[in-house]
Amino acid sequence: MGEENHEIVVREFDRKKDLLGVEDVERRCEVGPSGKLSLFTDLLGDPICRVRNSPAFIMLVAEIGEQKEIVGMIRGCIKTATCGKKLSRNAKISNNNNELIKPVPVYTKVAYILGLRVSPPSRRLGIGLKLVRRMEEWFRDNGAEYSYLATENDNLASVKLFTDKCGYSKFRTPSILVNPVFAHRVPVSDQVTVIQLCPSDAEILYRRRFSTTEFFPRDIDSVLNNKLSLGTFLAVPRGTYTTESFPGSELFFSDPCESWAVLSIWNCKDVFTLEVRGASLAKRALAKTTRIVDRAFPWLQVPSVPELFKPFGLHFLYGIGGEGTRAVKLVKALCGYAHNLAKARGCGVVAAEVSSREPLRLGIPHWKKLSCAEDLWCIKRLGEDYSDGSVGDWTKSPPGLSIFVDPREF
> Following DSSP, what letter does each residue of 17-41 receive, concatenated?
HHHHHHHHHHHH--BS-TTS-EEEE
Residues 144 and 196 in one domain: no
Q: Which pLDDT belongs to residue 28?
A: 80
* CB-count exposure of residue 140 (10 Å: 0-12, 13-18, 19+): middle
- What pLDDT is stored for residue 354 in this prediction? 97
Q: Which of 145, 158, 241 is nearest to 201 (CA)?
A: 241
Is 48 a domain residue? Answer: yes
CA-CA distance, 234 to 394, in Å (whole number)? Answer: 32
- 10-residue stretch averages of pLDDT, the chain, 410 residues long: 65 91 82 53 74 90 89 96 81 53 89 93 91 97 96 88 95 96 95 97 96 97 97 96 93 92 96 86 93 93 91 96 96 98 96 96 95 93 64 87 94
Same domain flag for 160 and 181: no
Q: Which CATH number goes with the domain that contains 71?
A: 3.40.630.30
- pTM over 0.85, yes/no: yes
CATH number of the domain at 275, please. 3.40.630
Please check whether residues 155 and 240 belong to one and the same domain.
no
Residue 398: inside a domain, yes or no? no
Whether 152 and 197 share a structural domain: no
Residue 408 falls within a domain, yes or no? no
Task: Assess if residue 399 is contained within a domain.
Answer: no
Strands (E), 43-97: 56-64, 69-95
Residue 403 belongs to some domain of the structure: no
The total number of structural domains in the chain stands at 2
Each as own residue / partner, the long-range contacts of residues 241-246 (CB below 8 Å, 24 or more positions apart, any chain) are 241/193, 241/195, 242/193, 242/195, 243/193, 243/195, 243/196, 246/195
Using DSSP, state whether 197 is helix, strand or coil.
strand
What pLDDT sits at residue 102? 77
Domain assignment present for 281: yes
254 in the same domain as 281: yes
CA dist., res. 112 & res. 162, Å (int): 13
pLDDT of residue 39: 67
- Based on the domain organization, do 298 and 327 belong to the same domain? yes
Which amino acid would we find at residue 242?
T
- Count of all residues that appear for the chain in the document: 410
Which residues share a beta bridge with 11? 61
**Do residues 131 and 187 both lie within one domain?**
no
Q: Which domain holds residue 331?
A: 177-363
**Count of CB atoms within 10 A of residue 162's CB?**
26
The answer to whether residues 164 and 268 belong to one domain is no
Q: What is the rounded CA–CA span in Å between residue 84 and residue 103?
A: 10
- C-alpha to C-alpha distance for 386 and 366, rounded to whole angstroms: 40
Instruction: Measure the CA–CA gap between 197 and 233, rounded to whole angstroms.
Output: 6
pLDDT of 249-295, one tens digit each? 999 998 889 999 999 999 999 988 888 888 889 999 999 999 999 99
Q: How high is the pLDDT of residue 276?
A: 87
Give the whole-angstrom CA distance, residue 111 versus residue 149.
Answer: 9
Instruction: Mark whether 121 and 246 lie in a shared domain.
Output: no
Predicted pLDDT of residue 92: 54
Based on the fold, state whether residues 124 and 214 are members of the same structural domain.
Answer: no
User: Do 263 and 222 reside in the same domain of the chain?
Assistant: yes
- Please tell me whether residues 211 and 114 are part of one structural domain: no
Contacts of 261 (CB under 8 A, 6+ apart): 234, 235, 320, 321, 322, 327, 330, 331, 333, 334, 360, 363
Q: Is residue 308 within 8 Å of residue 275, measured between CB atoms? A: yes
Q: In whole angstroms, what is the distance from residue 308 CA to residue 277 CA?
A: 9
